Amino acid sequence: MTAVGANVQRSDGEAKVRGEAVFGVDLAVARMLHARLFRAPVAAGLIRRIDTSAARASDGVHDVVSGADIQNQRAGVAVFDTPLFATDYIAYEGEPIAAVVADTPELAEAALRRIEIEIDEVAPIATPEQALSPGARLVHPSWAEFGTVGGIDFGAHGNMVAEIFSDPGDVEAAFEQADLVVEGTYSTPRQYQAYLEPKMALATYEGGRYTVQVSHQYPFRVRDRLAQVLDVPKSAIRIVGHHIGGGFGAKLDLGLEAYAAVLARRTGRPIKMVNLPDEERLTAPCRENAVVKIRSALRNDGTILAQDVDVVFDSGAYANNGPAGASIPMFMYASIYRVGTARIRSRMAYTNTAPTGAFRGVSGPYLVFAAERHMDQIANELGRDRREYRLATLASDGHKMRNGQALEELSILHKAFELVEARAPWSDQGADQEADQDTDQNGEKLRGIGIAAAVWLTNPQPGQATVKLNEDGGIIIVTAATDSGSGAVTTGLRQIAAECLGLSADHVAVTMPDTDVAGFDAGSQGSRTTHVAGRAVFDATSEVRRRVLETAAGMLEAAKEDLLIEDGIVRVAGVPDMSLSLGQVAMAATFSKGPIVATASYTTPPPPHDPELTKGMLFNTWPTPTYHVHLAEVEVDPVTGKVTVARYVIAQEVGRAINPDAVMGQVVGGVAQGLGYTLWERMEIEDGRYVQRNFETHGLPLACDMPKIETILMEHPEPAGPYGAKGAAEPSIVPVAAVIANAVSDAIGAPIDSIPITPEAVLDALQSLEHGVSG
Amino acid sequence: MQFCRAQSLDAALEYLAEWGADGCLLAGGTDVMVRYNKSEIAPGAIIHIEGIEPLSLITTHGRTTIGALNTHRGLAGDAAIAARHPAMASAARLVGGWQTQAVGTLGGNICNASPAADLAPPLLVADAHVTLASMRGERRLPLDEFFIDRRVTARRADELLTTIDLEPLPEGSAEVYLKLGRRGAMDVAIAGLAVRLSLQEDGSVGAARVAVCSLAATPRRVPEAEALLLGARLEDDALAAAGQALAGAVSPIDDARGTASYRRRVLPGLLARAARQCGEEARQ
């Protein structure tokens, strides 16, 4: 192989480095106007009056729209609960209430300030606990009328968006048999995706069709959701994608597209919208804050007889794709470890806060945080070495998850533990550390080590690719798959086509997404692009190859079986002077049977499972699993409470690394984001409002805060994947919070069961320990 | 708004006399431009002083005199500053990020009068005095009298801060600045602490100066802690007592960066660390 496994350069790399690449926010078209949203200034309240007359009369203003002026029905991905504009009541701070169209963004902004609104503020429902407490005010009084996708019953009730439950019925009995019960509560905050390019849209309405230019991870979802919101046929909408300045899940659902489309139709002019950076941050679909409670029934020998898991997530004011996230506990618990039987309850609550949504590794980081903190807790209670206890409890090949699906290759996880051990030998210093506690108050760093394991999936949703052989022998891949920065499209798909056709990836170009041109693709989510869109490219290129050989066989008067393709040349094996370039073959085909073009599609078939075992799931299998072990060593400053990551080692199974550099980039990036979540970033909520209002206090980690990440890529080629590739981009974020919290807890000798692990939280834990010891 | 470019000190003072409180001085712009872009200030004139070369001088005869236009990067890399004012040099390296250090000036950092000004504590422990010039003449006052409140200074509307003069680190002394932030760079201090100590032959403290930022409305000296260090040996009990005095003397607030409680709690440990570090360096 030449193209696959090579560190081929990204086709968009040079343009991005040189500043030539045109991102969504850079777009401009003739006659374009600019729109901005007027957003709710409070977290909850009744709207008494909106007066837009002064804004309408403001300089350069073309249109002002609020909910009363347009069709404003509720819509959504999973639950149809979200209006374009709040009309009667405000459900969160930042909720759109009106929009202003003006000649420039500045004039639109100036007009926004002239919108008058009277609000009767009400006390916000600020937390899921509050939302689910008896007698709580309803965030949405009309919740019972909300439709759902496919009419699925997610178990909604009042402020409960979704309740997913799996109960085999034998859990209580197991607890009665237990020698020991260990329980813990693990809580995690929101995390903002912190991509560079704010959400944008540029819409035109012409000849009865909407065209919306976007920088979006999932153009076909924009098409489908616009059709839903605007109540027009999907075929009346065209979505054209451009370079994306990052998304990490925040650009998977509608952002500004529907507003731009509505305003384009009303004004007859192209409408461009871009959020301001702070506006983006305060209204983005963050990873949801969550509280996980786990109770384990144990035998003295460490056998887990049963687990009882309760997960409560914060949906924010609307559901987004929340019920999908609420399904994930069914795969994160009772999956890689033998836990006997398990009862899992997953609940998602409406609150008066910005709606949460998809973020790299949806739900995974906090579910694994809870699971793996709990494993440490059990090991500590049993006096067992934490790594040894994991190995003793780890399940083996064929182990069935809660949905009845077998993890056929779980032994890869055992191998991952071994590879990490070979790189960074485990030394559980917990006991020694505790003895050092009180002598270390004047500065000596406390050291700790942590380890955690996880299984992650590769999103199975469909993708189609068309592969065209041009008459000069070049290849064009037509796809709606998007590259939000990973290189999955700009290197991966090109390498797969190049390998299949025996030419250099330099000869392969790939289109930007356009829903009028390319077949359906489910977008950049769940590490699916290389595996699913890559498989479609592989199948389409295989058909191109077949037709090349068929055409060349006729031209060379040779048998197809005797032909080979190398470096873009079709040769007859063993006959050196019998050859044709791919261009010659393509030219001949074009002017005889027609151009050599092929289209193929792929969707990962659902693995065998038992649909009766889980209820209310938005998706109920865990396709194309990958396996992960992380280890971290940390130093804690006992004076300030600051945590420094001294060493970070990963063994990650990827099927096959099509482009090792690109995979490494994703692995390191995921850890960086995970460390930000665990140690630095803050999106605290008080009274329904974010406390940190901008990036200055947000605390994204910097390059200088990053440890060296030592990555071991494990290759176990997956037969269904293109050249064996599975998903690789998302999962390195999943175990980070767990492994760091385990290491910090080990260092200080006190449990850290919530993140972010701020210096203050570390000092609190250290001081509670001192009081515990002296008292 | 008018943009006035002053190429000489006299020109700057004339502009200041003309515009008074409606004139806004601009040097590196790392604070002014941010506030201007956020519409927090709307001056009648911006008086750009970055080109006044004499204000970039550093002289080291007796006291160190530093022109107000010296940048943080310049201070961080200056050999004389490193030898005479190591705490200030390290504070200069910790202000914002490399880009802001490259253009942000010492005079700007002081006149901005942020409670979190990193350079202020090392300046305060070096007995810094500022010189203010106007068409009416010059005056010199101690830095702790210059800071009046959060973002309020003793500078009159027609005055330009021209130089800061400092007492260099005496023989047998050491100084240190410890910044408590969350990240490795580009952070506003949760707390900042500068300590300058002189040790006597017997190991006791002969002179002690302690100053802080992000712990009160202005950066300030903390005589309560200094008094307990003076004459003491750098041992656990004495350091703990001084640390407690320090924590009791400051008036931190809860903000989005940290709580008042955390700020108070870290101080004894930070002071002990800073004092021990000074002790080790002074003995070398």
SS3 letters across A213-243: EECCCCHHHHHHHHHHHHCCCHHHEEEEECE
**What integer pLDDT is reported at residue A165 of this predicted model?**
87
Same domain, B268 and B228: yes
Which chain A residues are closer than 8 Å to B276 by Cβ? 442-443
CATH number at residue B261: 3.30.390.50
Instruction: Classify residue B6: in a domain, yes or no.
Output: yes
Judge: B262–A760 Cβ closer than 8 Å, yes or no: yes
Domain ranges within chain A, ordered by starting residue: 13-17+460-602, 31-122, 290-459+610-774
Domains A13-17+460-602 and A31-122 share a fold: no
Q: Check if A443 contacts B (Cβ < 8 Å).
A: yes
Size of interface A-B (CB pairs under 8 A): 59
Judge: A639–B269 Cβ closer than 8 Å, yes or no: yes
Judge: A759–B236 Cβ closer than 8 Å, yes or no: no
CATH number at residue B92: 3.30.465.10
Query: What is the distance in angstroms between the Cα of A649 and the nearest Cα belonging to chain B?
Result: 22
How far is residue B252's CA from residue B244's CA, in Å, rounded to a whole number? 14
Judge: B269–A759 Cβ closer than 8 Å, yes or no: no
Judge: A680–B183 Cβ closer than 8 Å, yes or no: yes
**DSSP helix, strand, coil percent of chain B (3-state; round to 5):** 40, 25, 35
Distance of CA A660 to the CA centre of its chain: 21
How far is residue A232's CA from residue B131's CA, in Å, rounded to a whole number? 71
Judge: A693–B269 Cβ closer than 8 Å, yes or no: no
Asked if B115 and B213 touch (Cβ cutoff 8 Å), the reply is yes
Q: Check if A771 contacts B (Cβ < 8 Å).
A: no
Same domain, B90 and B203: no
Question: Three-state DSSP class for B255?
Answer: strand
> Can you spell out the DSSP letters for A516-585?
TTSPPB--S-TT-IIIIIHHHHHHHHHHHHHHHHHHHHHHHT--GGGEEEETTEEEETTEEEEEEEHHHH
Q: Is the peptide bond before A756 cis (omega within 30 degrees of 0)?
A: yes
Instruction: Classify residue B119: in a domain, yes or no.
Output: no
Nearest Cα to Cα of residue A229 among A25, A81, A97, A37: A81
Which chain A residues are closer than 8 Å to B180 by Cβ? 640, 759
Mutate to test the interface with B, among A113, A278, A442 (most CBs of B within 10 A): A442
Mutate to test the interface with A, among B40, B237, B266 (most CBs of A within 10 A): B266
Q: What is the CATH number of domain A13-17+460-602?
A: 3.30.365.10
**What integer pLDDT is reported at residue A444 of this predicted model?**
85
Q: Check if A761 contacts B (Cβ < 8 Å).
A: no
Asked if A344 and A306 touch (Cβ cutoff 8 Å), the reply is no
Instruction: Classify residue B221: in a domain, yes or no.
Output: yes
Judge: A442–B188 Cβ closer than 8 Å, yes or no: no
Instruction: Classify residue B117: in a domain, yes or no.
Output: no
Q: What is the CATH number of domain A290-459+610-774?
A: 3.30.365.10
How far is residue A321's CA from residue A78's CA, in Å, rounded to a whole number? 5
Range of the domain at B73: 2-112+128-166
The nearest alpha carbon in chain A to B277 belongs to A443
Same domain, B17 and B134: yes
How far is residue A643's CA from residue B71's CA, in Å, rounded to a whole number? 31
Instruction: Classify residue B121: in a domain, yes or no.
Output: no
Which chain A residues are closer than 8 Å to B265 by Cβ? 763, 767
The nearest alpha carbon in chain A to B270 belongs to A639
C-alpha distances in angstroms, A686 versus A123, A319, A689, B12, B259?
12, 21, 5, 47, 14
Amino acid (1-letter code) at residue B113:
A
Instruction: Classify residue B122: in a domain, yes or no.
Output: no
Which chain B residues are closer than 8 Å to A693 by Cβ? 256
Judge: A680–B265 Cβ closer than 8 Å, yes or no: no
What's the token pair of residue B164?
């800061």
Same domain, B66 and B104: yes
Same domain, B93 and B188: no
Judge: B276–A759 Cβ closer than 8 Å, yes or no: no
Q: Please identify among residues 702-741 of chain A the ones whose CB lies closer than 8 Å to any CB of chain B.
A: 702, 704-705
How far is residue A726's CA from residue A663's CA, in Å, rounded to a whole number? 11
Q: Residue ranges of chain B with pLDDT lower than 70?
A: none
- Pick B256's closest partner by Cβ from A640, A641, A692: A692
How far is residue A188's CA from residue A366's CA, in Å, rounded to a whole number? 6
Where are the extended beta strands (E) located within A30-95? Answer: 33-39, 45-51, 61-66, 89-90
Same domain, B158 and B216: no
Same domain, B210 and B150: no
Same domain, B147 and B211: no
Q: Check if A697 contacts B (Cβ < 8 Å).
A: yes
Query: What is the distance in angstroms between the Cα of A680 and the nearest Cα belonging to chain B?
Result: 7
How far is residue A545's CA from residue A591's CA, in Å, rounded to a whole number? 18
Asked if A370 and A294 touch (Cβ cutoff 8 Å), the reply is yes
Which chain B residues are closer than 8 Å to A638 by Cβ? 269
Nearest Cα to Cα of residue A356 among A284, A423, A412: A284
**What integer pLDDT is reported at residue A438 of this predicted model?**
42
Which chain B residues are closer than 8 Å to A701 by Cβ? 183
Nearest Cα to Cα of residue A335 among A362, A288, A368: A368
- Pick A443's closest partner by Cβ from B186, B257, B273: B273
Query: What is the distance in angstroms between the Cα of B186 and the nearest Cα belonging to chain A?
Result: 9
**What integer pLDDT is reported at residue A427 of this predicted model?**
84
Specify the CATH class of A31-122 in words. alpha beta
**What integer pLDDT is reported at residue A1 of this predicted model?**
65
Who's near A612: CB < 8 A, 6+ residues apart?
Answer: none
Same domain, B31 and B104: yes
**What integer pLDDT is reported at residue A437 of this predicted model?**
46
Instruction: Count the residues in chain A.
Output: 775
Same domain, B218 and B275: yes
Query: What is the distance in angstroms between the Cα of B258 and the nearest Cα belonging to chain A?
Result: 8
Which chain B residues are closer than 8 Å to A640 by Cβ? 180, 266, 269-270
Query: What is the distance in angstroms between the Cα of B17 and the nearest Cα belonging to chain A?
Result: 34
Judge: B265–A640 Cβ closer than 8 Å, yes or no: no
Number of domains in chain B: 2
Question: Three-state DSSP class for B260?
Answer: helix
The nearest alpha carbon in chain B to A694 belongs to B256
- Pick B256's closest partner by Cβ from A443, A639, A697: A697
Same domain, B44 and B153: yes
Q: Residue ranges of chain A with pLDDT lower than 50?
A: 430-441, 774-775
- Pick B265's closest partner by Cβ from A699, A758, A763: A763
Same domain, B22 and B137: yes
Interface residue ranges in chain B relative to chain A, Cβ cutoff 8 Å = 180, 182-188, 236, 256-259, 261-262, 265-266, 269-270, 272-273, 276
Which chain B residues are closer than 8 Å to A442 by Cβ? 236, 269, 272-273, 276
- Pick B186's closest partner by Cβ from A702, A760, A767: A702
Instruction: Classify residue B120: in a domain, yes or no.
Output: no
**What integer pLDDT is reported at residue A432 of this predicted model?**
47
Longest dimension (CA), chain A: 93
Which chain A residues are closer than 8 Å to B184 by Cβ? 702, 704-705
Bridge pairing between strands A446-456 and A626-636: antiparallel
Which chain B residues are closer than 8 Å to A441 by Cβ? 269
Judge: A640–B180 Cβ closer than 8 Å, yes or no: yes
Instruction: Count the residues in chain B.
Output: 284
